[in-house]
């Protein structure tokens, strides 16, 4: 299909020239463009298909060259990008140097925040509205938030504050009954009530008309009429919660009826005070396979399609660390009935479907509520269970205070499985898990670990479950590799010496161990005998092994897929300094003090010098410097 209309959209202003039939055709072309992107790479898909009409309606009714618009979470930003002058760049989506898969202010003035974590849109748009009002700058303010993000605590903090300030903001609740997986919890059931009462707004208008027409002849009649109105609302209205919070609730309305969407947006855009517009959408709308399996097609692997059918899905043949961890958790749950698993709306991403199915009473999905998940796990640990909190590294940051107070301060046996630790390729800076070494190792009582390869995983998890205090295990979003060796048992604070080198030592914390082994083998061809240590522990660090390496080796290179600020390399320097050893021959490889742009993961590791070639270059430079220092001495 040729995208004849879409290719002519250079800005939202171009939409005003289109007829209703042309707008409908534009929606079809936008979905076609989305299908074309996903045919070549992994990308967020079903969520974007579901907001095509909503994006069109918003840009038709508002002028976001001036007004404010924030898309919560941001992975459903693709239709918005298509309408804001980025169609010609669309084939570069999630590629190095191309469009980001999330909002990006560097790309367009229509993107106000780089959003990738759920729940913050209402707070951000409220802050912008408050700032605009103080500056007497008349702008409308709109936040689009999904029902999956709605349970996040920060959302209700923002809704409460917005109602208290009585600011003129519009919150659009995009309700598709899904996060990545089907939504869970009491709010999910509450929103479902709205689906069986679609005529509330009409009834509300009828009641208002009746109350205005009936003559008031005393307090008793007024009370009766008021109670009648409240009874109608209580029995038929799924939006009472929002009205009680201080929002005008409008909806629910069909999120794929473009004409109706425009009418409602026109109706509410100038209402005073905070307004919540409840919109029903279908995740994957317009592409049958995505509608039938919105979980798979949330971020599907590349696939071939013919018309409205998927011909083939190109799946990776490698076994990922996520699968290895999931299998280890399952095995632990089989033998230990005290082990329970918690996740924050990421059952699919963390590969926990089998655990959810086989152990439903010991599997807990808290929704996108990471702070609650950690405090909840602490309560379970206090009661005698062995909870495993399985959350992406970048999302666990949201529970920093609960890790401190509810877990580490109480020294409770909670195991944290930090998925997607390190760089995560095309998801980019909002999703890289590069800070957990730093934020975990600062807490007393916390044990911080990382498997060097697949062989470390089960031993580490078994150790963590048996440990009397909190443990963090980090692992990357990549295929699990293995190095040939007899895997040593995992003991608290003990590193594993793969090979001791006469000239220098590579100390790896985490899965870049395999790159270090490859680099050491190549360096032997350069005449350098370089050893490799699998650190296993960042905290407590293996003091004896590390100090021996620092004292005996001509150079030491630490390698980690995490922030250099406060990370494993820093722990090595601190350990050497505390022992009074020289440290000028220590080099650290890791993530520098900058945000890493989206690209293929291998491209990112190569640019950071964390692939085998980069490690070889660093060692050769360190070896030259080491010889100069020796000569001067």
Confidence (pTM): 0.86
Catalytic residue among 283, 386, 420, 518: 283
Q: How many CA atoms lie within 13 A of 586 on its CB side?
A: 23
Taking alpha carbons only, the member of 542, 606, 551 closest to residue 579 is 551
Joined together, the tokens standing for residue 428 give 């980019």
**Does the annotation count 81 as an active-site position?**
no
What's the pLDDT at 69?
A: 96
Catalytic residue among 398, 477, 539, 588: 398
Q: Is the peptide bond before 540 cis (omega within 30 degrees of 0)?
A: yes
**Residue 628: pLDDT band by 50, 70, 90 thresholds?**
very low
186 has a pLDDT exceeding 80: no
Distance CA 412, CA 83 (A): 50
Q: Are residues 115 and 36 in the same domain?
A: yes
Q: Is residue 624 part of a domain?
A: yes
What's the pLDDT at 627?
A: 41
Taking alpha carbons only, the member of 495, 451, 496 closest to residue 473 is 451
Q: Are residues 285 and 426 in the same domain?
A: no
**Does the annotation count 283 as an active-site position?**
yes
Q: Are residues 545 and 423 in the same domain?
A: no
What's the pLDDT at 148?
A: 85
279 has a pLDDT exceeding 60: yes
Q: Is residue 374 part of a domain?
A: yes
CA dihedral 175, 241, 274, 211 (to 10 degrees): 110
What's the pLDDT at 209?
A: 42
Q: Are residues 186 and 283 in the same domain?
A: yes
Pair 62, 264: CB distance under 8 Å: no
Lowest mean pLDDT among 184-193, 332-341, 577-586: 184-193
Distance CA 245, CA 240 (A): 8
Q: Are residues 526 and 563 in the same domain?
A: yes
Q: Are residues 139 and 280 in the same domain?
A: yes
583 has a pLDDT exceeding 90: yes
Q: Are residues 269 and 127 in the same domain?
A: yes
Q: Is residue 491 part of a domain?
A: no
CA dihedral 203, 207, 213, 219 (to 10 degrees): 170
**Residue 213: pLDDT band by 50, 70, 90 thresholds?**
very low
Domain end (from 474, 491, 514): 474
Distance CA 65, CA 475 (A): 42
User: Tens digits of per-residue pLDDT, 223-238?
Assistant: 544 544 544 444 445 5
Q: Are residues 164 and 117 in the same domain?
A: yes
CA dihedral 192, 195, 198, 201 (to 10 degrees): 20
**Does the annotation count 398 as an active-site position?**
yes
What's the pLDDT at 293?
A: 76
User: Tens digits of per-residue pLDDT, 469-480?
Assistant: 999 999 999 999
Long-range contact pairs involving 404-410 (C-beta distance under 8 Å, separation at least 24): 404/443, 406/374, 406/375, 406/378, 406/379, 407/374, 407/377, 407/378, 407/381, 407/470, 408/443, 408/444, 408/445, 408/446, 408/470, 409/445, 410/378, 410/382
Q: Are residues 353 and 449 in the same domain?
A: yes
- H helices of 536-600, in order, are 543-552, 568-578
Taking alpha carbons only, the member of 611, 346, 355, 477 closest to residue 42 is 477
CATH number at residue 584: 3.40.50.920
Total of domains in the chain: 4
Pair 153, 371: CB distance under 8 Å: yes
Phi-psi region of 369 (alpha: psi -120 to 50; beta: other; left: phi over 0): beta
3-class secondary structure, 103: coil
Q: Are residues 146 and 33 in the same domain?
A: yes
Catalytic residue among 370, 406, 481, 560: 370
Q: Is residue 256 part of a domain?
A: yes
Q: Is residue 595 part of a domain?
A: yes
Joined together, the tokens standing for residue 461 give 């998890």
Joined together, the tokens standing for residue 11 give 């800005």
User: Tens digits of per-residue pLDDT, 67-106?
Assistant: 999 999 889 999 999 999 999 999 999 999 999 999 999 9
Q: Give the chain's radius of gyration (CA, Å).
A: 28
Tell me the residue range of the domain where 178 lies: 6-197+238-292
Q: Are residues 568 and 586 in the same domain?
A: yes
CATH number at residue 416: 3.40.50.970
Query: What does the pLDDT average to over 251-255?
Result: 89
Q: Is residue 73 part of a domain?
A: yes
Q: Are residues 432 and 345 in the same domain?
A: yes
Q: Is residue 68 part of a domain?
A: yes
Q: Is residue 187 part of a domain?
A: yes
**Residue 631: pLDDT band by 50, 70, 90 thresholds?**
very low
Distance CA 561, CA 602 (A): 12
Burial label for 594, CB within 10 Å (0-12, 13-18, 19+), is exposed
**Residue 514: pLDDT band by 50, 70, 90 thresholds?**
very high
């Amino acid at each position: 299909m040729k995208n004849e209309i879409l290719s002519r959209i250079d800005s939202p202003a171009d939409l005003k020239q289109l007829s209703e039939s042309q707008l409908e055709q534009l929606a079809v072309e936008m979905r076609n463009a989305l299908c074309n992107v996903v045919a070549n790479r992994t990308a967020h898909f079903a969520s974007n298909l579901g907001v095509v009409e909503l994006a069109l309606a918003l840009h038709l009714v508002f002028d976001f060259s001036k007004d404010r618009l924030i898309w919560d979470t941001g992975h459903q930003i693709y239709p918005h990008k298509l309408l804001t002058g980025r169609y010609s760049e669309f084939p570069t989506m999630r590629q190095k140097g191309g469009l980001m898969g999330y909002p990006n202010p560097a790309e367009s003035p229509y993107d106000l925040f780089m959003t990738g974590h759920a729940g913050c849109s209402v707070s951000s748009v409220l802050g912008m509205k408050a700032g605009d009002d103080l500056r007497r700058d008349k702008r409308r303010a709109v936040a689009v938030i999904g029902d999956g993000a709605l349970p996040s605590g920060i959302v209700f903090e923002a809704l409460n504050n917005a109602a208290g300030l009585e600011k003129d903001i519009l919150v659009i609740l995009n309700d598709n009954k899904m996060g990545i997986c089907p939504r869970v919890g009491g709010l999910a059931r509450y929103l479902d009530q709205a689906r069986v009462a679609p005529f509330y707004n009409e009834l509300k208008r009828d009641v208002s008309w009746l109350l205005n027409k009936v003559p008031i002849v005393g307090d008793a009649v007024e009370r009766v009429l008021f109670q009648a109105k409240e009874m109608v609302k209580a029995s038929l209205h799924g939006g009472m919660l929002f009205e009680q919070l201080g929002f005008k609730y409008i909806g629910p309305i069909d999120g794929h009826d473009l004409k109706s969407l425009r009418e409602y947006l026109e109706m509410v855009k100038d209402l005073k005070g905070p307004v919540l517009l409840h919109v029903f959408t279908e995740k994957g709308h317009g592409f049958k396979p995505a509608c039938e399996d919105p979980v798979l097609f949330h971020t599907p692997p590349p696939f071939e399609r013919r018309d409205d059918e998927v011909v083939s899905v190109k799946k990776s043949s490698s076994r990922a660390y996520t699968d290895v961890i999931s299998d280890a958790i399952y095995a632990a749950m089989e033998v230990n009935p005290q082990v329970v698993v918690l996740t924050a709306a990421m059952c699919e991403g963390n590969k926990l479907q089998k655990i959810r199915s086989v152990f439903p009473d010991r599997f807990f999905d808290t929704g996108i509520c990471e702070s609650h998940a950690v405090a909840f796990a602490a309560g379970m640990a206090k009661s005698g269970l062995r909870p495993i909190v399985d959350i992406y590294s970048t999302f666990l940051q949201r529970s920093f205070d609960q890790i401190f107070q509810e877990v580490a301060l109480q020294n409770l046996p909670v195991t944290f499985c930090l998925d997607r630790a390190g760089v995560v390729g095309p998801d980019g800076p909002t999703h890289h898990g590069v800070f957990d070494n730093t934020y975990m190792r600062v807490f007393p009582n916390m044990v911080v670990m990382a498997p060097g390869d697949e062989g470390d995983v089960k031993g580490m998890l078994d150790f963590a479950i048996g440990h009397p205090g909190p443990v963090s295990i980090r692992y990357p979003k990549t295929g699990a590799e293995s190095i040939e060796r007899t895997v040593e048992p995992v003991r608290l604070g003990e590193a594993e010496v793969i090979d001791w080198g006469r000239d220098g030592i590579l100390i790896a914390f985490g899965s870049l161990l395999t790159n270090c082994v490859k680099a050491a083998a190549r360096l032997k061809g350069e005449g350098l005998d370089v050893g490799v240590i699998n650190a296993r522990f960042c905290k407590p660090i293996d003091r004896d092994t590390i100090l021996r390496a620092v004292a005996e080796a001509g150079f030491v290179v630490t390698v980690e897929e995490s922030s250099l600020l406060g990370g494993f390399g820093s722990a090595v320097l601190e350990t050497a300094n505390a022992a009074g050893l020289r440290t000028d021959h220590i080099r650290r490889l890791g993530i520098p003090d900058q945000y890493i742009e989206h690209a293929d993961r291998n491209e990112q590791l190569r640019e950071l010098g964390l692939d085998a070639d980069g490690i070889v270059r660093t060692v050769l430079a360190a070896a030259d410097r080491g010889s100069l220092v020796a000569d001067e001495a």
